[in-house]
Amino acid sequence: MSIKIALLGCGTVGTQVARLLSEKNALLSARAGADLELIGIAVSNLAAERDPAIDRALITTDAAGLIEQADVVIELIGGIEPPRTLIRHALESGASVVTGNKALLAEHGPELYDLAKEKKVDLYYEAAVAGAVPVVYAVRESLAGDSVKAIKGILNGTTNYILDEMTTKGLTFDEVLATAQELGYAEADPTADVDGFDAAAKIAILASLAFHKRVSLADVDVEGIRSITDADIEAATKNGYVIKLVATATQAGGKIETRVAPSLVPVSHPLASIGGSFNAVVIEAESADRLMFYGRGAGGAPTASAVLSDVVAAAAKKVLGGRAPQEIVLGESEFMDAGESVSRYFVRLQVADRVGVLAEVTDAFAEAGVSISAVNQEVDGQPGLAALAITTHAASAADMAATIEAVGKISDVHEVVRVFRVEDE
């Protein structure tokens, strides 16, 4: 028996998938229980240069025609269109689909899950979240007998590389971004990465899986890292933290909260030690307690590993019958109001360097109902000014916003420089 595979897209990941399908074919076929045959690779430009590993006889621009011959379709084009139309065509044609397209799933996942269920085929997407890190499998299958309470992670390698270089080498955001682009870690247009949208799409997918509710990209509160300065990094370090772009999904009292934001992570936290372009995900479950997954979150070969894992699984289902785990939706999604979100906070202020200012500031915090756990004061470096770094106990976002508004009205407060959330240890 032969399982015919169509590959849509031949970029960095697609090239590695094609190469590994050829080089490891005997092993992959044995695991699938049938010969895995790559029947074609759909591209938009026949004349483009290709890796020598690509058999040019397989290249075609007829994606629709290729899909109609396939048992399993791998979509690695990226973006919303044409992938959405092509995946729909594949599912309607009776092919199972493997995709790494987090943006598409975060926006149109429910439509595609429903179509796959209707056509009795499978839709796999391990590569859409955290590259080679098998976190989708863990949430969807390994924790099927448990209840997930929270997921927190570093889900974007580009931003983690940038923040890590800023922290360890004292470089500016712009300097590291330029290097990241030269090394291929960041795209020429880094918006999706540095503004947090890539991580937001991934946490939306994980939240949907973990909580059995439908969560889209629009449901995620997103803040990126463009505004992070060397002064922020220095202040975090002095107070025992590192800055990480943390994606969070929690469910409490039936309400879901999803966000992506640069946060202060205590040096003792598992996420604090994640360096370079690596990804890591911490899952809190009722029975399993804390689980951590760590590995390469991007790159051709690591992502291809996740793709091929799904290909083997999809092919095995074609051979042996049965279905992959299906999407479960337990009622309507209810989301936490932004003001209800509870967290510890770290606030940096620039104030007049005179007696009594600290008392005014702490009084403003107290009047707003926000408790302070630590205060550090240093010479600001500018004549007549001092720098305050205040860490709070847990407070609601609404109370914190009221506090910052009140503090900003104090005449001796020159500037509220920065407000960060602080992750619990």
Question: In which band, very low, low, confident or very high, does the pLDDT at 379 lie, cut at 50, 70 and 90?
Answer: low
- Total Cβ atoms within 10 A of residue 382: 11
Question: In which band, very low, low, confident or very high, does the pLDDT at 59 lie, cut at 50, 70 and 90?
Answer: very high
Report residue 19 CA to chain centroid gap: 27
Residue type, 196: G
Q: How many Å apart are CA 339 and CA 400, to the nearest integer? A: 9
305 pLDDT above the threshold of 70: yes
CB 125 within 8 A of CB 105: yes
407 pLDDT above the threshold of 90: yes
Domains of the chain: 2-127+300-320 (3.40.50.720), 135-296 (3.30.360.10), 342-422 (3.30.70.260)
Output the known binding site for NADPH: 102
* Per-residue pLDDT tens over the stretch 91-101: 999 999 999 99
Q: How many Å apart are CA 58 and CA 287, to the nearest integer? A: 49
202 is catalytic: yes
- Total Cβ atoms within 10 A of residue 101: 26
Q: How many Å apart are CA 258 and CA 216, to the nearest integer? A: 10
Sign of the torsion angle spanned by Cα atoms 416, 417, 421, 424: negative
* CA-closest candidate to residue 248, choices 289, 295, 284: 284
Cα R_g (the chain), whole angstroms: 24
65 pLDDT above the threshold of 90: yes
The mean pLDDT value for 61-84 works out to 97
CB 194 within 8 A of CB 226: yes
Quick one: 258 exposed, middle or buried, by C-beta within 10 A (0-12, 13-18, 19+)?
A: buried
232 pLDDT above the threshold of 70: yes
Bridge partner residues of 246 (DSSP): 261
CB 177 within 8 A of CB 358: no
185 pLDDT above the threshold of 80: no
Question: In which band, very low, low, confident or very high, does the pLDDT at 107 lie, cut at 50, 70 and 90?
Answer: very high
DSSP, collapsed to helix, strand or coil, labels residue 276 as coil
* Per-residue pLDDT tens over the stretch 119-164: 999 999 999 998 889 999 999 999 999 999 999 999 999 999 999 9
- Total Cβ atoms within 10 A of residue 287: 8
Output the known binding site for NADP(+): 8-15
399 pLDDT above the threshold of 70: yes
Output the known binding site: 8-15, 102, 187
User: E strand or H helix at 37, and its extent?
Assistant: strand 35-42
422 against 331, higher pLDDT = 422
Active-site hit among 24, 117, 169, 202: 202
pLDDT on residue 411: 94
pLDDT on residue 324: 85
pLDDT on residue 135: 95
Pairing of strands 413-422, 342-352: antiparallel
The mean pLDDT value for 249-266 works out to 95
Question: In which band, very low, low, confident or very high, does the pLDDT at 384 lie, cut at 50, 70 and 90?
Answer: confident
Q: How many Å apart are CA 68 and CA 327, to the nearest integer? A: 25
Q: What is the mean pLDDT of the chain?
A: 94
